[in-house]
Amino acid sequence: MADRASWKTDLRHLGILTGLCLLLGVYLILTTVLIARDGVFYIRQAQQFAEYPAGVARTYPVGYPFLLWAAHQVTSALTRDDSVLLWIYSSQAVSLLCRVLALVPLYFLGKLLVGARNSFWAVLILIVLPYPAQYGSDVLREWPHVLFLGLGFWLLYWGLHRRHWWVLLLVGLDVGLGHLVRPECAQLILYALLGLAYVVWIEQGFRRLAPLGAAVLLLAGFALPAIPYACARGTIMPHLLRSSRFNAPPVIGAVGLRQSSADPLEFEVRAGELLELPIQATDPQGDAVTFTLAGAPMGSQPVYEFRSPFTGERFWTASEGEKDSLVAKYAREEWRYKGIVFYAYPQCDARPGLQLVRRFWSGTLQRHFYASQEAEFQALRRESPVQKWADEGIAFYALAADQGSPDTVPVYRVANPANTCIWELGEGPSSGPASSSGKDNRKGTVVWHVHPAGKPPAGARIEGRVFRWRPGPGQQGDYQVGIIASDGELQDCQLVRIRVDAVPRQGTNPEDGDPASEGVGLRSGTLRVQHAGVERLAEAVTQVFAGVAENLMVILFAPWVLGLYCRFRRPGDRLEQLLILALILVNVTLMVARHVNFGAGEDRRYSLGMLALTVFYIPPGLEILSRRLAAWKPPLAPRWSWFHLLVAIGILVCVPKLLKPSRVEKAGYRATAAWLRQNTNTDEVIAAPDSRICFYAQRPGIIYEESLDTKGANYLVLVCRAGGPAAPAGWQQEYASPAGGKHREVLAVYRAPHVTR
């Protein structure tokens, strides 16, 4: 009878909790003004999952994108519609469903730890906390992660307490599935091994073979989903602590005081003077960026190469936008990025002896063809009616076959056994026109000539993030240099054109400095770096606990700490203390490490898993406070009233922020996206500071952060604020809207000079 009454109580508690969670979640979904920035990334992952699931699986945990894709498939089948809003609402529904389901194992875990009554109040508090509630109605993977983490922790604690070793198989399976959502779910493996070690070494009298078999079951359960996924992507651990599906190239935002541009940036310096140009560059994934210099002929531009490992085909493009699009669209196994391979020309009049190179594509042959002769153009176009070759336009301009020079390399067209053509670059410089029109030992015909990367001007170098060059008296003239930013795999290039005048100004000092003072500066710099590392670690720890306090609305942070302290101070369940202590230490360490290595981030979000599994200690902390208040003489109120009053105060503090529409302060982003969707063509590119603008507008985008990046953009969105960046010269303002919030910022839309309306 007691068990039956207990189940009735549990069902009543769960009914109240899940019903309240569902009502609040639906309200938050309907009032969401703008989804999280990461939500755009996850939805795009899900959209790409439908076309290329293997590519998503190889580069990012596939669990959450799969859930979003499956939810969209169901909703689109029911509504027979497909739109951005349908993707958003179906994705938000996934988060809410995972949150409602997560309450069940969390409630039963709390029942084991602190009893049914305290577990009910703890889960109720978790439901009304504003930030966790918002995560459960947004497009974020926090609650799917908590679902697997909470379920696995409950099964582990229950199985170890009851000595049901077979439960470890279910724990391992849960870890394997949760690992596909977030790699951090693998921490359950550590807790399970700690729990089994506690049973073996601390509690005597149990057979040690049973825990050993449980460990085998744990690893076997984990292997069931993990091994197929590892085979699909080539490694056990998925992409960890990163925010991009494919590695995006770094972006050079500015050189000196000039913003990056598709055209070379022009500077002047006198011989003997020092030219110093700070370089602003960022990497979307936070990878370290290194810089190199390459000499390039005046008027030329870099050409990027992709190589197909299946066909061996070379694909060349001189377009930065096309290069970035291919990097984002295709996996490395399909098109392998090879970087800048040579320099060609964007205009036919850049220098004498140039001929155009057109690019053709055959959907039938799945190949590209590069042609430079009019007869070849006409022959390929005659085949177009049968959809064999499509003209993709001018790729670039190159030196003709009879215009080779010592600073160029020949390009050979080689016939292969499949009766198609491939293109190969010569390994050395051309010997001149006399040998440029024949064939080499590979029996390939020279079709044109291009420039390899040359040496930068003598004395030019990059130190840190600053380009420095003090030209000598004999270096007068014009120079073009490519500043190349690399993350170790992908590149971005900004061309710089420098004019060196002959006469130096009077009073200039060409000396670079004193080597002895440089040694002192190096030692002091090392000390500053070490001191900065300690400060950064201290700041990371502070920010992590500040994130936990924000999740608890500050007012509940003290009861949470008090409940944990009293629970560990008193003699009690050692297994509980071991697992909870390990949970807190592991999660705090992960958050601090992330903060130190990747900078400040969403500490509230990353602390949600730890908070959800320890929220049960808030009611015991409130119980201690209520006893202290009830002990006053004379008593102010009955003890039970103090407990409920404290809970009510905590809930009332949460209500205003809980009911506030999500990101209402960014309403202008939504309005700007609506204007772009109605007033631009579907293929026009938008440069914007936030990916959500392009996503809601349903337009391709170039996302910039600190520095403007308008290469290939048709429209530019600027957040106008005091001291902010100004629109480039020639761009015309078309629209403006208040961004929202308390800073009175304005979102302005500018049209590029080459775009006509």
Between 263 and 498, name the one with better pLDDT: 498
Between 157 and 443, name the one with better pLDDT: 157
Tell me what pLDDT residue 236 has: 39
Tell me what pLDDT residue 510 has: 42
Distance between CA atoms of 640 and 647, rounded to whole angstroms?
11
Tell me what pLDDT residue 707 has: 63
The identity of residue 389, as a single letter, is: W
Cβ atoms of 422 and 414 closer than 8 Å:
yes
**pLDDT above 70: percentage of residues in the chain:** 80
Distance between CA atoms of 353 and 342, rounded to whole angstroms?
17
**Ordered structural domains, the chain, with CATH:** 1-245 (no CATH), 300-452 (no CATH), 664-751 (3.40.190)
97-106, 285-294, 553-562, 674-683: the lowest-pLDDT one: 285-294
Instruction: Using DSSP, state whether 599 is helix, strand or coil.
Output: coil
- State the chain's maximal CA–CA distance in angstroms: 110
Between 3 and 609, name the one with better pLDDT: 609
Instruction: Using DSSP, state whether 477 is helix, strand or coil.
Output: strand
Tell me what pLDDT residue 81 has: 73
Query: What is the per-residue burial (b if ≥16 Cβ within 10 Å, else e) of 302-323?
Result: bbbbbebeeeebbbbbbbbeeb
Tell me what pLDDT residue 80 has: 74
Report pLDDT digits (tens) over 370-394. Answer: 888 777 766 766 665 445 677 777 8
pLDDT value at 72 more than 60: yes
DSSP state of 684: -
Tell me what pLDDT residue 507 has: 46
Report pLDDT digits (tens) over 278-321. Answer: 988 887 767 788 899 999 889 899 998 888 766 667 888 888 77
Phi, psi of 726 (to 5 degrees): -100, 160
The identity of residue 253, as a single letter, is: G
Report pLDDT digits (tens) over 504-534. Answer: 445 444 444 444 333 433 344 344 434 445 6
Report pLDDT digits (tens) over 135-172. Answer: 999 999 999 999 999 999 999 999 998 888 899 999 99
Between 517 and 361, name the one with better pLDDT: 361
Report pLDDT digits (tens) over 224-260. Answer: 988 887 766 544 333 333 333 456 778 888 888 787 7
**Mean pLDDT on 122-139:** 94
**Mean pLDDT on 26-32:** 94
Report pLDDT digits (tens) over 481-493. Answer: 999 988 888 888 8
Structure tokens at 493: 């290039």
pLDDT value at 616 more than 70: yes
Q: Which residues contact 657 (CB under 8 A, 6 or more apart)?
A: 130, 553
**pLDDT above 90: percentage of residues in the chain:** 32
pLDDT value at 189 more than 90: yes
Tell me what pLDDT residue 628 has: 83
Instruction: Give me the half-sphere count of Cα atoms (radius 13 Å) on the Cβ side of residue 538.
Output: 6
List, in sequence order, every residue forming a beta bridge with 304; answer none if it has no partner.
Answer: 317, 340
Q: What is the phi-psi region of residue 753: left when phi exceeds 0, alpha when psi lies from -120 to 50, beta otherwise?
A: alpha
Distance between CA atoms of 448 and 278, rounded to whole angstroms?
37
**Mean pLDDT on 68-73:** 92
In angstroms, what is the C-alpha Rg of the chain?
32
CA distances, 309 to each of 231, 312, 313, 331, 411 (Å)? 19, 5, 8, 11, 20
pLDDT bin (cut points 50, 70, 90) of residue 263 is confident
Query: What is the per-residue burial (b if ≥16 Cβ within 10 Å, else e) of 479-511?
Result: bbbbbbbbbeebbbbbbbbbebeeebeeeeeee
- Greatest mean pLDDT among 114-123, 262-271, 537-546, 628-637 lies in 114-123
Cβ atoms of 73 and 85 closer than 8 Å:
no
Does the pTM surpass 0.75? The reply is: no
**Mean pLDDT on 351-369:** 80
Distance between CA atoms of 202 and 211, rounded to whole angstroms?
13
